[in-house]
Every structure is written in C-alpha cells, then in structure tokens.
Amino acid sequence: MNENFTKLKTLIAEVADLNAAQAILGWDQQTYMPPGGAEARGHQLATLGSLTHQKFTSEEIGKLLDELKREFADADPDSDEARYIKVAAKDYDQATKVPSEYVARFAQLTARAHESWAKAREASDFSIFQADLEEIVEIRKEYVSFFPPADHPYDTLLDEFEPGMKTAEVQEIFGTMRVKQVELLKAIADAKQVDDSFMHVNYPEKQQWDFGVEVATKFGYDWNRGRQDKSVHPFTTSFGINDVRITTRFMEDFFPSALFGTMHEAGHGLYEMGVNQEYERTPLNGGASLGLHESQSRMYENLVGRSMPFWEHFYPRLQETFPTQLGNVDLPNFYKGINKVEPSLIRVEADEATYNMHIMLRLELEIAMIEGSVAVKDLPELWNTKFEEYLGITPPNDAEGVLQDIHWSFGGLGYFSTYALGNLVSVQLWEKINEDISDLDEQIRQGKFDTLLSWLRDNVHTHGRKYEPQELVQKVTGSKITPEPYLRYLESKYSDIYGL
C-alpha cells in the first residue's frame, strides 16, 4: 500500500478509537451512570473530545491528505481508497474550522444539559432545562459562525447530519407532504374509528422484553456483537462494527412503546453491523447519513413490523405471551389497532400518518431559534400552540410536550428532519426491494428475514459512508429522495384500513 496512505490510516484509526471511547462514556451516561456523575462525566467527555479534535486536525494529517489527493488524482473515483481520501478530507476540512476549545466546551455543556433535561422531564418543568438549552442554542450559532455563509444558517447544522441537504430542499419536501398528509388525516378522521383499547392494559415488562428480543433476533440482530439495555429515550450507539448496542424503554400499559422501539433500534443496529468490515477504524465506517439510518429503523419498525404478513407469523406467539390481554382479539382487529391513526403527544409513539407532523413542528421551531425569531423561554407556549395547529391537541404538561425528546440536550439542532427523510427513503428502498424480491411478503409471513437483510447488506449497509446520501439513494433506486412513494404508501395502506 502507498506509504502515505498507510501513515494516514494509522493516525485516523487512533482518532476512531478515541471517538469510540467517547461513545462508551455517552452510552454509560444514558444507561447506568448515577445522576451524580454528570459533572465528572462532562469533564471526561470534554477532555477526550478536545484530544480527539486536536489529533484529527493535526498538521501531519492535513499534509498527508494534500499529498494523497495529488497521488490519487487519476484513481477510480469509486475505489475505496479514493472515497476514503474524499470523506476524510471533507471531515478534516470541517473539523479544522472548529477550535478544540469549542469542542471541549460543547462536550461539557451537553453532558450537563442531558442531566438537566432528564430532571426537567421527570418533573415536567421546562425551567430546569431552560438555561442549558439557551446555552446550547448560542453554542450552535457559534458553530455556524465558523463556516462560510450558507444560503441559510440552518444549512450548516443540517449538513452535519444529512450531508448535502439544504434547508430549502427540506422545506419544499415537507411543504408537499404536509398538504397531502393533512388531506389524508381529514379523510381518516371522518371514517369509522379503530378500537385499540387492548393495547392500553397491563403488559408485564419481562414478557415485553423477551418478545422484543425474539423479534430482533429473527431480524438478524447479532447478540454476539450487540446488546440491549433500558434508557429514558431509546437510542443506538456503535463502538465499532462488532460492538453495536441498542436500548429501549417500557410502558406496562402500552406494549407498542417497547416492542416497536426495539424494532426501530434493531434497524439502526443492523445497519451498523452490516458495514464492510474493512471500514473498521476508518472514515468510511458508519451510516451515510442520519436520514439513511432512519430509513433502516423506520423500515423494520413500520414497513416490516406493522405489516400484516409480519403479524400473520408473529401474532400467535404474541397471543401465547399475553393470553389474557390478547386472547380474544383477532388478527384483523389487532392489525388495525397497531396501525390506528390518532393525533398523539409523543413522537416516538406516533402512528405513521401523523409522525411527520411532529417532525415538521420541531423543524420550524429549530429554524426560528437559529434565526433568532424565537426565544428559548417561549418554547413551551409556542410548542403547545403549534401542536394544536399541527395535530389538533394540546399537551397537558412539559414532559409530554416540549421536553419529550432528548435531542436538544445533546446539541442536536439540525437532526430532526432526518426522521422524516428516513420515512421517505424507507419506502423508496422498499419499492425497489419488492421489485427484486418478488415473494418478500410470503417470506415475512413465514418469519424469514434473511433475504431482506442480505439485500440491505449488499445495497445499503456494506457501503457505510462511502457515498453521500442522495448519491446512494440515486444509485440504489434510480431517484433522489422524493416524497411521492411514501405518500402513495400511506394512502394505499390507510385507505385499506379505514375503507377510504
């Protein structure tokens, strides 16, 4: 191998190790760390973050990248080597614009903010989190200031999570979706409503856990390379291709929370586990973007997990697990119940038809905060007003309103639109998968998911970060990210369920 390339790979592998160490500390903070450890954990993450940033932005790595760009100028642009250099150079260019001192401050602030958010959510009192969120908004604006002016300041934040995507593009996509989804929701509201009372009875946690593990195992989640734990907010984290961990949360009077949460996170986990093993400790490891990542989690949660073929296989097992709760509920009514459309307070438990409305609401507030037209102190009232406007209901408290999601506490402004983009990509991929696997429904009906996973491994997972998201979606489906397939899917599915 080229000598300069070997040197670069060695240095960047060490950076990857430091990033993994930070991820372990972050995972522990959200699963097992006692609340009193927040201040010390903030210092630890700040130190590691600063060291990692200094190491990656070193002059030595910059010189090696410059030399390698020249040496590989005529190489196949799709070769792993050329893509490695391209991705590493982009990461380096972005990182060198941000001071190490900023990285340390950000890590310390968000470690503290996670704990204040958790306390605020438990107490349903936004004021506990307000000061930290005000700092987070300011520090994210500071981050934007390190980069050349974009068409919109939010573009810089969005690019961090969905490379290449612009605020105007997302707003245009959401504008198209909003009109169609509002029409669908109105039609559903006028139809005969679905009974889902069977979901709102007691389901013991242990049985929920065991059933979720059974499903994730069938999907192909490798427990030799992963594990599941409990957390306040479900998430997936990766310390390497062979150590990918998921979490879930339980509501004993609403079993879909944990089950569909486990399916969702398993989808993320399968993506991380499926990256080409040769990309371990390189810039090519990980998902192409959070939108692509969400396409995998939403696919397993909804397109697979809320489908009739899936439950034709799994429903007898679920009835065996919960005979008192579900013994008298037949499959057609169960299927309708888990797909019931009803405006709800919590995004992660929202049905498919209303889910994107949650995303649009939060995106609107995030953009306004970055523009400076909305003050953090006004968020609870604004949240409730917009929630009534978007979904027709008003949150009764902060915990079920503005405090419901963890993302702002870790500084994730710019993140949220990727959830909706993931929905769109999931259906674009699903249409292509069904073209290539003509008996997919029958395989799922038989509880066989290996062909589906192999297709995703070959077409999506293995590439890691080798391609940018729009490039990968175009490569696999023949089209860039577009809302039309998703809107077709929603109309077809819910017309059938509600007799529209």
What CA–CA distance (Å, rounded) separates 55 from 116?
Answer: 31
Helical packing angle, 352-371 and 153-161, nearest 10°:
130
Contact 131, 138 (CB under 8 A): no
The amino acid present at 165, given as its one-letter code, is: M
Kindly name the residue from 162, 265, 352, 468 that is annotated as catalytic.
265
Half-sphere exposure of 391 (CA within 13 A, CB side): 27
Helical packing angle, 256-273 and 205-219, nearest 10°:
30
Contact 366, 354 (CB under 8 A): no
**Strands lying side by side in the sheet with 243-248:** 226-230, 243-248, 236-240
Contact 174, 360 (CB under 8 A): yes
* Whether 265 is catalytic: yes
Contact 259, 211 (CB under 8 A): yes
Beta strands in 334-475 (DSSP E): none
Task: Look up residue 290 and give its two tokens.
Answer: 């959070």
Contact 134, 376 (CB under 8 A): yes
Looking only at the bridges linking them, the beta strands covering 243-248 and 236-240 are antiparallel
CA 70 to chain centre: 36
> Which residues are known to be catalytic?
265
